[in-house]
Every structure is written in structure tokens, then in C-alpha cells.
Amino acid sequence: MSERERLNRLVSDYGDLTVKRFFNLDAQAYRAGALPARTKEIMGLVASFVLRCDDCILYHLNRCREERVTDAEIVEALGIGLVVGGSITIPHLRRALLAWHEMRP
Amino acid sequence: MSERERLNRLVSDYGDLTVKRFFNLDAQAYRAGALPARTKEIMGLVASFVLRCDDCILYHLNRCREERVTDAEIVEALGIGLVVGGSITIPHLRRALLAWHEMRP
Amino acid sequence: MSERERLNRLVSDYGDLTVKRFFNLDAQAYRAGALPARTKEIMGLVASFVLRCDDCILYHLNRCREERVTDAEIVEALGIGLVVGGSITIPHLRRALLAWHEMRP
Amino acid sequence: MSERERLNRLVSDYGDLTVKRFFNLDAQAYRAGALPARTKEIMGLVASFVLRCDDCILYHLNRCREERVTDAEIVEALGIGLVVGGSITIPHLRRALLAWHEMRP
Amino acid sequence: MSERERLNRLVSDYGDLTVKRFFNLDAQAYRAGALPARTKEIMGLVASFVLRCDDCILYHLNRCREERVTDAEIVEALGIGLVVGGSITIPHLRRALLAWHEMRP
Amino acid sequence: MSERERLNRLVSDYGDLTVKRFFNLDAQAYRAGALPARTKEIMGLVASFVLRCDDCILYHLNRCREERVTDAEIVEALGIGLVVGGSITIPHLRRALLAWHEMRP
């Protein structure tokens, strides 16, 4: 069982209805609709990036790999994040690119 | 001269090279590349939304109208922002939808 | 119809399932459970305060009045928010106390 | 001497009057008054949670254990934090529940 | 009595010891020490700017005028804030420059 | 090659024009002008501190050592950061003072 699975197990054991519904809602928000799932994952990445959450960035980078987002698309998305969020995001940019690089097929 | 133009004039009058280059960079980040300008504007909207800046949200909503983003796309993008950013973004959601409604063609 | 109602109408008209479920979840989180509704509203106030959202602060102050929270309790709660969130919250403290003062019975 | 003590020693060695007074004020804010110390610690937890500071969350979880806060109360408090702060707080929720679990008596 | 005075009166009427000590500490932090008061005010400005609090920015701009900070110094300080904090600070930059312009001697 | 260099190499390999220009702009903002480089680094430190980015804080502390900023100046700058940013910055204060202590000449 991975660290992430172990932690999700804990959330599931302790979580009440509010917590569980939130997790369902979180999954639902990224399902394909008027916008394709692929675009939504890039948006989730940009939102996570400007809010500076490494775990969230990593999660969306993984989903972007699954959705076959290209290097150029990732860099443009992170570039928007960098301009919007400023130099305070630079350490996250470095770690995001390293993670993206290491998960290349 | 609109309020926005008057303020940009001031930025231009007072701004040094750092400030001016930043404004150029800000414009450049949203130009079409691997990702279309349209998608980039929706990303700028989501980033502005989770960072809770009404002026920035309004700017990107205007650009989204120009790029013919649909109601359904805007609502899905803001829905991602709402889930990522939490209930603290609700007042911005209300104002964003009002602005979007009022700028319908 | 108040401004708030008009805005909620817009959210209801435009909102998709994600948005509507989020609003339901938001209401549910403050219902009495192991913690009384009264305590939960004070928590919502402190969370809104440190995140510096005036509309959210105002909403929870109103709910705190309904739950008969006392002046001393409000000031202690805001004092925790002030210490956690720092002097950047001072303008919100001023506006919160003014709003609280004006809604006294 | 624990890591925390070693770091507090450094703060004490380097800190000037402003820093020292701030630390005193921080301790004072959580003392029992109109609100019991127990409720104040839960508020400190929620504030730390929405501001996404793991060290602060851990500190208040420890204090909540000392004040005999129950599992159900912690989960409801974190649930409010999750709804207010959004999915960006999920990694902190996982770590908070793990820490809470591991410090059970 | 100005709006600011009226609000400070309310803080003084409602505030407990925690709130009052915080206000004293806030004043103390900007007094001349190893760093001159002038430099401290510019720092307070930059901190307020990246945290995006217009009231705080305005307060420090006023203090910077009293300390005879020059236009070039203000623009360089705001330029650092803009680069650190990103384009999300642009609306605050516009309002800061307008306020600075209007309070010129 | 240090970890930092390895990461910067990745930024350089993947980065597009937007990213590269941002890095240039970031360097430019701290060059001596109306304000000396030394003062600008302290400002960068305070901005990084209130935004709670440890990597950014560490970078500016290193630059402050190079610019021969004194212990008293660092503590006053961090004290302003602590008062502006609140107790949520305390873990960063501890780590900043430890890093500053360990890089003493």
C-alpha cells in the first residue's frame, strides 16, 4: 500500500459525511463536460501552482501525463502560473519541471 | 479616458524598466502557442479566481467573451476554481457570474 | 430582492452540478454535530478572518448574532485571528467590529 | 534538547523585543477567557489549517489532545477547514489525520 | 473624526488585552533601530503589497511620504513586490501609484 | 553540480521565452538603483517571509550575508515580517534564524 493510499485510508476511516462528499465533489469537478478532462487537468495544475501546493501540482502533473499533455503545453501553463503568481512560485516551478521530467515515458 | 486607461497611464509615467518589462511579459504569456489563446484566458481566469482578485477575474472574463468562451465552459472553469479554492471564493463566484451575465452579447 | 439574493439567483441559474453540490456541502459543514452550530460559526468566522474575506466575515458575524455569541467571545475569536494572521488583517478587524457593532440588537 | 527547543533557543538568542513580545502575545491569545482554552485550540487549528501551515497544525493538534478534544470534534473542525479552504488543503488534511492518529493515547 | 479614527475608536472600545497589545507591537516594529524608520516603512509597504492589502499599502505610502521617500525608491520597491507577487498584484500597483501621485506635496 | 544548479538546468532546458524572460526580470529587480542592492535584498527577504516560502527566504538570507547585513538588521526585518504576517510565520522564523546562524562567517 503506497503512502498516498495509506493516507487516503485514514481519511476514509476518520472522515465524516462532509469530508467524504468533498472528496466526491473534487473528483467530479475534473470530469469531461463542456471542457475536456485534459484541459481541466491543466487548469487544476495552474490553480495548484499559483496556490503553491507541491502535492497538488504533482497530482495534476501525473494526470496530465495520462492525458498526453505535451512538454510545450505544460511549460506554457506553468509560464502563465509564474507570471500570475510571481517569483515566489519559482521553487515550485523547479520541482514541477523535475517531476515532469522524471515521469516522462 | 477610462479609469483603467488613466491608471495604466500612471503606471507608464511612474514605472521603471522592471515594471514595464513585467507588463510586456504579462501580455506575452497569454499569446497563442502550444495552447490556444482561448484556453490560456480560461487558465488566467482560474488562476485569478483561486487567488481571489476581482479586477483580474473581470479582465479575464472580458477576454473570454472576446474569445467566445461559452457559458458552460465558464461555469466548469469557475467550478474547478471553487473546489480548489473553497468557500472563501464564493463572493468572487457571485460577482464573476454577475459580470459575465452583464457582458453577454 | 436583496443584492445577496439576486446574486444567489444568478449562481443558481448558471451553476452546474459541481457548483450546486458545493453550496449544499457548505451549508452542511456548519450544522450542529459533535461541535455545536454556535462553535462552528465562530470557527467559520476565524477561518474567514485569517483568509481576509470581508463578505465571508460579515456572513459569519450575522450567524454569530443569531447564535447569541457575546461581544467578549467575538473579540477573543478575532484576537486569535489577529495573532495568527498578523497586522495585514487589521483593516478587516476594524470593519468586522464596525459591522458587529451595527448589528447589535 | 528537541529540534523545537533548539529552534526556540535560537529565537530567544537572536530575537529582539518585538519578536519576544510577539511570542508572549501568541501564548496569551489562547488562554481561557470568555471562550474556553479547548475551543480556542480548535480555532487555532482551523486557522492554521486554512492557512496551510503543517507545523502550526501539528502544534494545535497536540494541544487539542491535551484538552481531550474528541475524534469527531477534530474531524468536524477539519471539515469546516476543508470546505472553507478547498481541495488545496487536502494534503494537509491527510497529514493532520495521520498525526492525530499517531498521537492517540 | 475621520473614518479611520472612528474605526480605531471601535477597536479601542471592543478590544481586549490581546488586541491592544497587538496594536502596540505593530507600532513598535516600525521604530528606528538597526534599520532606519524610513527603510522599515518601505519594507512594510512591500510586505503589504505582496499580501495585497490596499488599506495597508495606503497606510505605508503615507508614512513613506512623511519619511521623504522618493518616487524612484517607491517604484523600485513596488517593482520588487510586482516581481515577487506576480501579475495578481497589478490592480494594487495601479491603485498604489494613483494614491502616491495624489499625495504628492 | 548542486541540486539548485541541476534544477536551474531543467528550467533552462524546458523553459520557453516567457519563463526565461521572467528569470531575467527577477535578477534585474534586485540590482542597485535608487535603493541599494543591500536594501533590496532585505526587502526580498521580508516579501518572501510574509509569503512563507522557505527556499526564497534562504536565497535572500544568503544574498544578505554577501551584502554584509548585520544580525540586528535581519532580526528587525524578520520582526516586521512576523508582525505583518502573524504567528503563521513562526515556523519560518525558526528556520530562517537557524539558516542565518549556520551561515555566519
Q: What is the mean pLDDT of chain B?
A: 95
Closest CA to A86 of B72, B29, B60: B29
Put simply, the answer to whether E95 touches B7 (Cβ < 8 Å) is: yes
CA distances from C25 to A25, C20, C47 (A): 9, 9, 17
Closest CA to C14 of A81, D10, B76, A99: B76
Region of A53 (left: φ > 0; alpha: ψ -120 to 50; beta: rest) is beta
Task: Please give, one letter per residue, the 3-state secondary structure of chain E.
Answer: CCHHHHHHHHHHHHCCHHHHHHHHHHHHHCCCCCCCHHHHHHHHHHHHHHCCCHHHHHHHHHHHHHCCCCHHHHHHHHHHHHHHHCHHHHHHHHHHHHHHHHCCC
Residue B1 binned pLDDT confidence (cut-offs 50, 70, 90) = low
Q: What percent of chain A has pLDDT over 90?
A: 88
Residue D1 binned pLDDT confidence (cut-offs 50, 70, 90) = low
Instruction: With beta carbons less than 8 A apart as the criterion, state whether C34 and B99 touch.
Output: no
* Helical segments of D17-89, H only: 17-29, 37-50, 54-66, 71-85
User: What is the per-residue pLDDT for F1?
Assistant: 67
Residue D89 corresponds to which amino acid? T
Chain-centroid distance of CA B55 in Å reads 7
Residue with cell 479586477: B55
Nearest CA in chain D to B88: D84
For residue C86, which residues of chain F lie inside 8 Å, CB to CB? Answer: 50, 82-89
With 0-12 CB in 10 A as exposed, 13-18 as middle and 19+ as buried, what is C41? Answer: buried
Q: What percent of chain F has pLDDT over 90?
A: 87
Question: What are A104's three cell numbers?
Answer: 516522462
Rounded to whole angstroms, the Cα distance separating A15 from D94 reads 10
Residue of C19, C22, C53 lying closest to B91 (CB–CB): C53
Nearest CA in chain C to F80: C87
Instruction: With beta carbons less than 8 A apart as the criterion, state whether B64 and B50 touch.
Output: no
Q: Which of E82, E87, E89, E93 to mutate to test the interface with A (most CBs of A within 10 A)?
A: E87
Task: Tell me how many degrees the CA angle D45-D46-D52 measures, rounded to the nearest 5.
Answer: 90
Encode pLDDT of F53-77 as tens digits: 999 999 999 999 999 999 999 999 9
Instruction: With beta carbons less than 8 A apart as the criterion, state whether B43 and A80 touch.
Output: yes
Instruction: With beta carbons less than 8 A apart as the criterion, state whether D88 and A25 touch.
Output: no
With 0-12 CB in 10 A as exposed, 13-18 as middle and 19+ as buried, what is E98? Answer: middle
Rounded to whole angstroms, the Cα distance separating A79 from A99 reads 16
Rounded to whole angstroms, the Cα distance separating E79 from B15 reads 8
Q: Which of D50, D53, D63, D67 to mutate to test the interface with C (most CBs of C within 10 A)?
A: D50
CA distances from C71 to A7, C85, C101 (A): 40, 20, 9
Instruction: With beta carbons less than 8 A apart as the criterion, state whether C86 and F88 touch.
Output: yes
Note the maximum CA span of chain B: 41
CA distances from A102 to A19, B13, D91, E16, F47 (A): 32, 46, 22, 54, 32
For residue A29, which residues of chain C lie inside 8 Å, CB to CB? Answer: 18
Closest CA to B26 of F40, E83, A96: E83
Question: What are C75's three cell numbers?
Answer: 473579540
Rounded to whole angstroms, the Cα distance separating E82 from E52 reads 11
Q: Is C33 helix (H, G, I), strand (E, B) or coil?
A: coil
Q: DSSP code of F86?
A: -
Encode pLDDT of E19-66 as tens digits: 999 999 999 999 999 999 999 999 999 999 999 999 999 999 999 999
Closest CA to E85 of A24, F53, F36: F53
For residue B97, which residues of chain C lie inside 8 Å, CB to CB? Answer: 7, 10-11, 14
Residue with cell 489549517: D49
What count of other Cβ atoms lies within 10 Å of the Cβ of residue C8? 16
Closest CA to D84 of B90, C64, A25, C34: B90
Contacts of B24 (CB under 8 A, 6+ apart): none
Residue A60 corresponds to which amino acid? H
Q: Is the pTM of this model over 0.90?
A: yes
What count of other Cβ atoms lies within 10 Å of the Cβ of residue F104? 7
Rounded to whole angstroms, the Cα distance separating B88 from A12 reads 25
Rounded to whole angstroms, the Cα distance separating D45 from E3 reads 34
Residue of B29, B73, B81 lying closest to A80 (CB–CB): B29
Chain-centroid distance of CA B4 in Å reads 14
Put simply, the answer to whether B47 touches A84 (Cβ < 8 Å) is: yes
A52-73 burial, b at 16+ Cβ within 10 Å, e below that, comes to: bbeebbbbbbebbbebebeeeb
Residue E1 binned pLDDT confidence (cut-offs 50, 70, 90) = low
**Helices (H) and strands (E) in chain C — how many of each?**
6, 0
Rounded to the nearest angstrom, the minimum Cα separation between D70 and chain F is: 24
Encode pLDDT of A50-100 as tens digits: 999 999 999 999 999 999 999 999 999 999 999 999 999 999 999 999 999
Put simply, the answer to whether A28 touches C21 (Cβ < 8 Å) is: yes
Rounded to the nearest angstrom, the minimum Cα separation between C28 and chain E is: 31
pLDDT in tens, chain C (105 residues): 688 788 888 999 999 999 999 999 999 999 999 999 999 999 999 999 999 999 999 999 999 999 999 999 999 999 999 999 999 999 999 999 999 999 998
* Helical segments of chain B, H only: 3-14, 17-29, 37-50, 54-66, 71-85, 90-102
For residue F16, which residues of chain B lie inside 8 Å, CB to CB? Answer: 33
Q: Which of C46, C80, C97, C101 to mutate to test the interface with E (most CBs of E within 10 A)?
A: C97
- Does F3 score more than 90 pLDDT? no
Rounded to whole angstroms, the Cα distance separating E85 from B25 reads 14
Put simply, the answer to whether C97 touches E7 (Cβ < 8 Å) is: yes
What count of other Cβ atoms lies within 10 Å of the Cβ of residue D69? 22
Instruction: With beta carbons less than 8 A apart as the criterion, state whether C40 and C29 touch.
Output: yes
Instruction: With beta carbons less than 8 A apart as the criterion, state whether A17 and C28 touch.
Output: yes
Put simply, the answer to whether C28 touches A17 (Cβ < 8 Å) is: yes
Q: Is B62 helix (H, G, I), strand (E, B) or coil?
A: helix
Instruction: With beta carbons less than 8 A apart as the criterion, state whether E64 and E41 touch.
Output: yes
Q: What percent of chain D has pLDDT over 90?
A: 88
Residue F105 binned pLDDT confidence (cut-offs 50, 70, 90) = confident
Put simply, the answer to whether B85 touches D86 (Cβ < 8 Å) is: yes
Put simply, the answer to whether B42 touches A43 (Cβ < 8 Å) is: yes
User: What is the per-residue pLDDT for F43?
Assistant: 98
Sign of CA dihedral C56, C62, C64, C67: negative
What count of other Cβ atoms lies within 10 Å of the Cβ of residue E36? 11
Question: What are D84's three cell numbers?
Answer: 472553507
